[in-house]
């Protein structure tokens, strides 16, 4: 048993013991309960009516009393903290400042209540000291403190009984649901999610009109939380449980977009994070997970967040990794996916209770009805008091001469008051008001003003009395006021609600291979080395397809959709790019952007410029793409032909494919693996030569080739290609024009001829005539031979139809823009 000494003797007095035996268990229980009650009621839990903890309520009330309105200047936060601590909240200044800072942070509250000026911190860093920051009330906070001077709530003494403070704020909107709350008490805690102001007010209005509304009815207006940071909420079952019972949980995810950062790099761009998760925390977790080998496929993380564009966290991926699979890993191992546990504990009539959504709204609506009822009663009393005075003034003004005579003939004020009350049947209040009457109120105009005021007061009293007498009108008034708040402060929803997960599980390539028919779908982490096409468009766009489905022929074509080169390869393979200077550049297929699967022709608008994948010298041009595992044929402007063996160096990214003579350049490159294939030259002077590929022996990289076509002085080759042996659909297309024809005008002719009509000639000969020039024509601007039907590409890459019937057409009969860059088949 414990002993307690009742009093301490003064020095020199004999010690007289007064020991009281107290049961330790009883003492501890009592003391702990007192402490626990103090923490629960006075510190940690918000009131369900205004959604505020005592310290928050005291801060807002004191700032309103200090006149820190939105239309006035900011004051030092330390001044506010001092006023609150000295008058209402006898606790540490750090606790008061921390609560004040939270009410100013737009990532913590859906509708901030304090307008902060200065460094109020971030999700990763704390705020500056109170002596450095400034604050004033936000506009929305005024709706919480309005009408406090109209007896709308009870006032209670402060800690030293010298001042009073509101027991609860009037709260013109459901602050607890809109801004949420969090706190840890003794033996209990609260954690409430923020919601959208417009949705919550709509639900409250529905409950006002339909007090018997069910949870399903209310959830039509409030489908789920609306977090200040946006993001996505995945899975709504936990939200339904929380709205029904007051307890539940849900997952929040970051908003992530897959973007092509550069021509070679794909990245995940994060623009919204889960509630109360900072970018630095995410970066730290990503680095830890990469170091521990939990995360794969990430090359770098860059934080590009700024005040103008907001959050932008760029996660760069390594080539060959599936972005969606990497994203699923990020959700698993980093705070980019977080869980929020709802625990709706708040104070109702001074007692902590766990409330569902309907109960929370019912408590608020009941509070707001009481506030408006008390405000209406207060205004009614004021109007009646004023009417009482006005009626007394009107009586005095009618007989003002006699009133003055009564006052002047009285010995003192008390006698005058008594005589006025007796003669004119006035009350003491009216008589006192008449005695205080000023001479300027004795004019005729003043009497008219008083009569008008009397009518207005009677109408106002009638209206206020009608509100108090009718519960329906009172509810309608509360609903209208809520609608005004929503119209002024509501903002669109930020958080997207999703019923189910959008990202599947990740598996290794081996596991993905084993997942046969009927197995749960998984995402392979790395992109498989599957067959695909690499396509170079006439406008210089480069991309790869996601598979190697046959490319459709014909169909609607658009900008970029004329193919200059198409190479069959695999997603992790390599191809070569041949340039006009005779150089071949190694290109990694995995670096290229993948076009989305499509039933028709691939849309090359999703590609990137080919120059992003290779460095070309001044004047050097990209001729085409070729595979690295086949014999190639090259042709030059001066008529040189060469077949090239695929013996390329493995330790170099570029090398010479042909040794050119001075002034010469490569104009074409194509696969010529079979000796039966035919090589084709066409010159500006309209000469065409076709000869067997067997006439050109394959050579090494440094060889200069052999004479392919004999070209006369002043002429030059403008086309070199390979036509497969025996191709019945092969055609020759030539476009002629004059040197004086203006670009963009149909000043020439187009000719389409079966390839078989041209006789084969020997190598190093001049060939045959391919196009007879008409008046005004003196050269070919385009020549092409290969598998038809063909399309032409204008300078901007737009596809142009060519004649379907073989023969000649003039420029006015063909929808072909000039100058023409390239003619190619619809699928190769």
d(CA 558, CA 730): 24
568 φ, ψ (degrees, to nearest 5) = -80, 125
132 noted as active-site residue:
yes
Provide the pairing of β-strand 654-656 with 717-723.
unpaired
- Give the three-class secondary structure for 749: strand
d(CA 529, CA 571): 5
In the numeric block, the tokens 């014909």 are attached to 554
d(CA 62, CA 114): 12
The b-or-e profile of 573-593 (16+ CB within 10 A means b, else e) is bbbbbbbbbbbbbbbebbbbb
Provide the pairing of β-strand 496-498 with 506-507.
unpaired
371 φ, ψ (degrees, to nearest 5) = -60, -50
Question: What residues have CB less than 8 Å from 373, skipping those under 6 apart?
Answer: 468, 474
Integer CA distances (angstroms), 152 to 234, 364, 366, 464, 584, in order: 42, 14, 13, 15, 85
Tokens representing residue 377 in the block: 């009663």
Q: From edge to edge, which strands make up the β-sheet containing 189-192?
A: 181-184, 189-192, 337-343, 247-253, 232-234, 496-498
Long-range contacts of 696-700 (CB under 8 A, 24+ apart): 696/633, 696/641, 696/642, 696/643, 696/763, 697/643, 698/631, 698/643, 698/644, 698/645, 699/642, 699/643, 699/644, 699/645, 700/644, 700/645, 700/647
Tokens representing residue 48 in the block: 């369900």
Is residue 789 reached through a cis peptide bond, with omega within 30 degrees of 0 on the bond before it?
A: yes
d(CA 547, CA 595): 9
d(CA 535, CA 513): 28
d(CA 566, CA 627): 10
Nearest C-alpha neighbor of 297 from the set 135, 481, 506, 538: 506
d(CA 430, CA 427): 5
DSSP state letters, 390-405 = HHHHHHHHHTHHHHHH
Tokens representing residue 234 in the block: 């995945």
Is residue 819 reached through a cis peptide bond, with omega within 30 degrees of 0 on the bond before it?
A: yes
Q: Which one is catalytic: 132, 243, 364, 424? A: 132
Provide the pairing of β-strand 232-234 with 717-723.
unpaired
d(CA 544, CA 610): 12
Catalytic residues: 132
């Amino acid at each position: 048993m414990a002993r307690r000494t009742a009093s301490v003797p003064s020095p020199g007095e004999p010690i007289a013991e007064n020991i009281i035996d107290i049961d330790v268990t009883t003492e501890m229980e009592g003391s702990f309960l007192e402490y626990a009650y103090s923490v629960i009621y006075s510190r940690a839990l918000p009131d369900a009516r205004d959604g505020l903890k005592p310290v928050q309520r005291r801060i807002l009330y004191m700032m309103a009393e200090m006149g820190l309105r939105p239309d006035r200047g900011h004051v030092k936060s330390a001044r506010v903290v001092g006023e609150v601590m000295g008058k209402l909240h006898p606790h540490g200044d750090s606790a008061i400042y921390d609560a004040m800072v939270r009410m100013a942070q737009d990532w913590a509250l859906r509708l901030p209540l304090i307008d902060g000026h200065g460094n109020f911190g971030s999700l990763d860093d704390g705020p500056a000291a109170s002596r450095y920051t400034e604050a004033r009330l936000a506009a929305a906070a005024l709706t919480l403190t309005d009408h406090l001077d109209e007896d709308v709530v009870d006032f209670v003494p402060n800690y030293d009984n010298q001042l009073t403070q509101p027991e609860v704020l009037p709260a013109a909107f459901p602050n607890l649901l809109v801004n949420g709350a969090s706190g840890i008490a003794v033996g209990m805690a609260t954690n409430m999610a923020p919601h959208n102001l417009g949705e919550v007010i709509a639900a409250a209005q529905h409950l006002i009109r339909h007090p018997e509304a069910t949870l399903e009815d209310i959830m039509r207006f409030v489908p789920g939380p609306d977090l200040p940071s946006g993001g996505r909420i995945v899975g709504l079952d936990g939200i339904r449980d929380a709205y029904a019972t007051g307890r539940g949980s849900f997952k929040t995810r970051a908003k992530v977009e897959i973007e092509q950062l550069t021509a070679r790099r794909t990245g995940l761009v994060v623009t919204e994070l889960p509630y109360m998760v900072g970018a630095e925390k995410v970066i730290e977790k990503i680095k830890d997970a990469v170091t521990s080998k939990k995360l794969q496929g990430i090359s770098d993380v860059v934080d590009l967040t700024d005040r103008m564009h907001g959050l932008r966290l760029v996660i760069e991926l390594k080539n060959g990794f599936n972005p969606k699979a990497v994203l699923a890993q990020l959700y698993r191992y980093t705070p980019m996916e977080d869980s929020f546990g709802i625990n709706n504990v708040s104070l109702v009539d001074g007692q902590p209770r766990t409330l569902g959504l309907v109960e929370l709204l019912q408590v608020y609506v009941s509070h707001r009805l009481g506030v408006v009822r008390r405000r209406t009663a207060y205004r009614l009393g004021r109007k009646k008091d004023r009417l009482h005075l006005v009626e007394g003034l009107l009586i005095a003004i009618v007989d003002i001469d006699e009133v003055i005579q009564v006052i002047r003939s009285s010995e003192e004020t008390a006698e005058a008051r008594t005589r006025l009350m007796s003669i004119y049947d006035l009350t003491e209040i009216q008589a006192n008001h008449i005695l205080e009457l000023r001479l300027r109120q004795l004019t005729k105009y003043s009497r008219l003003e008083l009569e008008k005021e009397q009518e207005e007061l009677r109408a106002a009293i009638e209206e206020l009395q009608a509100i108090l007498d009718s519960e329906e009108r009172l509810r309608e008034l509360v609903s209208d006021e809520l609608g005004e708040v929503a119209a002024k402060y509501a903002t669109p929803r930020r958080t997207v609600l999703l019923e189910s997960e959008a990202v599947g599980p990740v598996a290794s390539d081996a596991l993905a291979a084993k997942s046969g028919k009927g197995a749960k779908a998984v995402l392979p982490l790395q992109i498989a080395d599957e067959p695909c096409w690499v396509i170079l468009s006439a406008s210089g766009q480069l991309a790869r397809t996601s598979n190697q489905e046959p490319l459709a022929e014909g169909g609607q074509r658009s900008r970029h959709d004329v193919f200059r080169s198409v190479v069959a390869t695999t997603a992790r393979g390599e191809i070569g790019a041949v340039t006009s200077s005779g150089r071949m550049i190694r290109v990694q297929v995995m670096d290229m952007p993948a076009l989305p699967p499509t039933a028709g022709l691939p849309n090359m608008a999703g590609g990137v410029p080919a120059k992003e994948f290779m460095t070309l010298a001044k004047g050097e041009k990209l001729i085409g793409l070729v595979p690295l595992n086949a014999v190639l044929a090259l042709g030059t402007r001066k008529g040189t032909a060469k077949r090239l063996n695929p013996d390329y160096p493995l330790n170099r990214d570029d090398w010479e494919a042909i040794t050119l003579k001075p002034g010469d350049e490569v104009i074409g490159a194509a696969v010529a693996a079979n000796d039966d294939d035919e090589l084709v030259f066409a010159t500006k002077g309209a000469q065409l030569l076709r000869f067997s590929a067997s006439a050109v022996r394959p050579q090494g990289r440094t060889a200069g080739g052999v004479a392919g076509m004999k070209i006369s002085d002043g002429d030059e080759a403008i086309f070199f290609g390979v036509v497969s042996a025996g191709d019945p659909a092969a055609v020759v297309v030539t476009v002629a024009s004059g040197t004086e024809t203006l670009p963009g005008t149909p000043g020439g002719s187009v000719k389409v001829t079966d390839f078989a009509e041209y006789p084969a000639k020997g190598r190093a000969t001049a060939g045959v005539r391919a196009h007879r020039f008409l008046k005004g024509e003196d050269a070919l601007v385009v020549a092409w031979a290969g598998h038809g039907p063909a399309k032409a590409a204008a300078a901007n890459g737009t596809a142009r139809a060519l004649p379907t019937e073989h023969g000649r057409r003039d420029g006015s009969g063909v929808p072909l823009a000039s100058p023409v860059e390239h003619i190619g088949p619809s699928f190769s």
